[in-house]
Amino acid sequence: MANKNEKMVEQITGMDVDFAQWYTDVVKKAELIDYSGVKGCMIIRPYGYAIWENIQRDLDSRFKALGHENVYMPMFIPESLLQKEKDHVEGFAPECAWVTVGGENQLTERLCVRPTSETLFCEHFRNVIKSYRDLPKLYNQWCNVVRWEKTTRPFLRTSEFLWQEGHTMHETEKEAREETQRMLGVYRDFYAETLAIPAYTGRKTEKEKFAGAEETYTIEPMMHNGVALQGGTSHYFGTGFAEAFGIQFSGRENTLQYPHQTSWGLSTRSIGAIIMTHGDDNGLILPPRVAPIQVVIVPIAQHKEGVLDKANELKARLVKNFRVKLDDSDNSTGWKFSQYEMKGVPLRLELGPRDIEANSCVLVSRVTREKTVVSLDNLEEEVEKALNKVHDELYQRALENMKARTYTATTLDEFLDTAKNKSGYIKAMWCGETECEEKIKSLTGGVKSRCIPFDEEHLADTCVCCGKPAKHMVIWGRQY
C-alpha cells in the first residue's frame, strides 16, 4: 500500500513538472504516434489508430441512428469554388495547402486541399435538391483535412488531421436550428458516455464562431491542467451558402426557396482530450469504451503448472464480450504492470496459482489501483461491472477537477488575478462587444471566451471588462 502511488514508469516526465513534456512523453511512449518527416503531420500508430476506430464506430452509429448517411466528396477545392462565400474564404484561405502542379503540368486554376468541405457539399446540393421532397439531406463524411499550422502538436494541432464533418440541408430554419443543437447534443453525450469526459457546452461569441456561420455551438471539455480544448462544434449557416451557391427548391406552396444549412465536426483532437483529461504520472488512462485493450491478463508465476492454461481459458471466455490481451511473454510481472499502466489499459486481471486454487482472480483498476478479488464463476459480469466502474470513476474525477477549476469573477481585477494565478475557466459577465474580448485576451496573454453556456447564471449586472450593462455570462479560458 505504501508505494501505491509510486511513479512506476520513470521515463515519463511528471505532469506537475512539465505538462507539455508529459504529454509528448505519453503520446510517444504509449506508442500512439510517431513523428514524420512531413512538416506538421503525424503518423498514427496501431494503438492510437485503434482508439480512433472505436471513436468512429461509436459516433457513426449515433449519426446513423438519427438518419444520417455517409458520402465522400473530393479532397480538392478549386480556388473559385472556395471563394464563393466571402466570410468562409477569408477564414480559411490563409491556412490552405495549394496544389499547383498536376502530373507534369502547371494547373490553370490552383486547387486547395480541403480545410473543410462546405463549398463541395454546396456544389453537390445544388444538383440534388430541387423540391421540398428532397429535404432534409442529412450527410456526413469521414475524411482527412488540411490546415497549414505554424506550430503543431500531435492530435491537438496538426497540419493534416482526421475528422468527420456532417453537412445537412433543411426545409425550414426551425428544423436546421434543431439539427444544430441536436448534433451538439450528440457530441456532449458521446464525450460523457463514451469518453467519460464532462464539458461545458454553449454558443460561441461573434468573434469566435466559424467562418461563414450564423451561430456556432461548441463543447468545451477542460483538460487536467485547466486548459480548454474545443472538443467539437456545430454550426447553423442560415441560407448564406445556399444563396451564394444558388441552391433553391420549390416549396410546398410552389415558391422557390433557399434551404437552411448546418455543419458539425469532431476530429482526432478528441484523442488529445482523452490523454489530457484522464492521464496521470504513470501514463495514459483510456476510457473503457474506446480502449483498444480493455482487460490485460497478467499471469503470476506463469511457469507454474496450470497457470497459463487457466489464463488462456479466461481469455477465451472474455474475448467474446471484451477486447482482451493476455501477456504471456518472458518479461517480468513488474514490467508488465508498468507497461500496461503506461498504455492506459483500464483493467488488469491478475491470476496466479493461489487464485486458481481459490477459483478466483484479482481485478485492478487503472484509475484507483483498487484490487478486487472476484470469483471465476461469474467473471464476465464482474469484468463488465469493473469496466463500468472505471468509466464512472474517470468521469467523476474529471467533473470534480472541472468544477474545482471553474472560478467566478465580477471585477476586472479579480478576473486578471485569477487568470494570472489559477489555471482553469473563469465565469464572468460580458457586454457583448468584441472589443472587450480582445482586451481580456491581451491583458491576460491569451484568455478567450469559450462559450456562452446554455445555462447562463446572473453573476452581476455589468460587464467584467468595461462595466457597461452585461448581456451574457461567458466562460473564459486558455485553450489548446
Contact residues for a copy of itself, defined by CB under 8 A: 34, 36-39, 41-46, 49-50, 52-53, 69-78, 81, 94-104, 110-111, 113, 120, 123-124, 127-128, 139, 143-144, 146, 148, 150, 159-160, 162
Q: What's the closest the beta carbon of residue 351 comes to a copy of itself, in angstroms?
A: 25
Q: Is the CB of 133 or the CB of 174 nearer to a copy of itself?
A: 133
Q: What's the closest the beta carbon of residue 249 comes to a copy of itself, in angstroms?
A: 17
Q: What's the closest the beta carbon of residue 275 comes to a copy of itself, in angstroms?
A: 17
**Pairing state between β 260-267 and 232-238:** antiparallel
Q: What is the torsional sign of CA 414, 419, 425, 430?
A: positive
Query: By the 8 A CB rule, do 429 and 412 touch?
Result: no
Query: By the 8 A CB rule, do 31 and 150 touch?
Result: no
Cα separation, 300 vs 83, in Å, equals: 64
Cα separation, 215 vs 284, in Å, equals: 35
Cα separation, 115 vs 147, in Å, equals: 5
Q: What's the closest the beta carbon of residue 444 comes to a copy of itself, in angstroms?
A: 27
Per DSSP, 93 falls in state G
Q: Is the CB of 53 or the CB of 392 nearer to a copy of itself?
A: 53
Q: Is the CB of 14 or the CB of 46 nearer to a copy of itself?
A: 46
Q: What's the closest the beta carbon of residue 82 comes to a copy of itself, in angstroms?
A: 11
Q: What are phi and psi of 222, to 5 degrees?
A: -100, 130
Q: What's the closest the beta carbon of residue 318 comes to a copy of itself, in angstroms?
A: 18
Cα 129 to Cα 124, 290, 312: the distances in Å are 9, 37, 57
Cα separation, 270 vs 72, in Å, equals: 22
Over the Cα atoms of the chain, what is R_g?
25
Q: Is the CB of 68 or the CB of 235 nearer to a copy of itself?
A: 68
Q: Is the CB of 107 or the CB of 459 nearer to a copy of itself?
A: 107
Cα separation, 34 vs 43, in Å, equals: 5
Query: What is the CA 219 to chain-centroid distance, rounded?
Result: 9
Q: Is the CB of 97 or the CB of 460 nearer to a copy of itself?
A: 97
Cα separation, 86 vs 82, in Å, equals: 9
Q: What's the closest the beta carbon of residue 138 comes to a copy of itself, in angstroms?
A: 9
The pairs formed by 406-409 with CB atoms below 8 angstroms and a separation of 24 or more are: 406/222, 406/475, 408/459, 409/464
Q: Which helix (H) or strand (E) holds 351?
A: strand 347-351
Nearest to 232 by CA among 194, 264, 209: 264
Q: What's the closest the beta carbon of residue 378 comes to a copy of itself, in angstroms?
A: 28
Q: Is the CB of 49 or the CB of 258 nearer to a copy of itself?
A: 49
Cα separation, 367 vs 286, in Å, equals: 9
Query: What is the CA 312 to chain-centroid distance, rounded?
Result: 35
Q: Is the CB of 144 or the CB of 372 nearer to a copy of itself?
A: 144
Q: What are phi and psi of 130, to 5 degrees?
A: -120, -30
Q: Is the CB of 159 or the CB of 263 nearer to a copy of itself?
A: 159
Cα separation, 467 vs 460, in Å, equals: 10
Q: Is the CB of 39 or the CB of 458 nearer to a copy of itself?
A: 39
Q: Is the CB of 67 or the CB of 445 nearer to a copy of itself?
A: 67
Q: Is the CB of 223 or the CB of 284 nearer to a copy of itself?
A: 284
Q: What's the closest the beta carbon of residue 98 comes to a copy of itself, in angstroms?
A: 4
Q: What's the closest the beta carbon of residue 139 comes to a copy of itself, in angstroms?
A: 7
Cα separation, 301 vs 306, in Å, equals: 10
Q: What's the closest the beta carbon of residue 136 comes to a copy of itself, in angstroms?
A: 13
How many other β-carbons are positioned within 10 Å of the β-carbon of residue 305?
Answer: 7
Output the nine-digit C-alpha cell for 373.
478479488
Q: What's the closest the beta carbon of residue 80 comes to a copy of itself, in angstroms?
A: 9
Query: What is the CA 197 to chain-centroid distance, rounded?
Result: 9
Classify the phi-psi angles of 432: left when phi > 0, otherwise alpha if psi is within -120 to 50, otherwise beta.
Answer: left
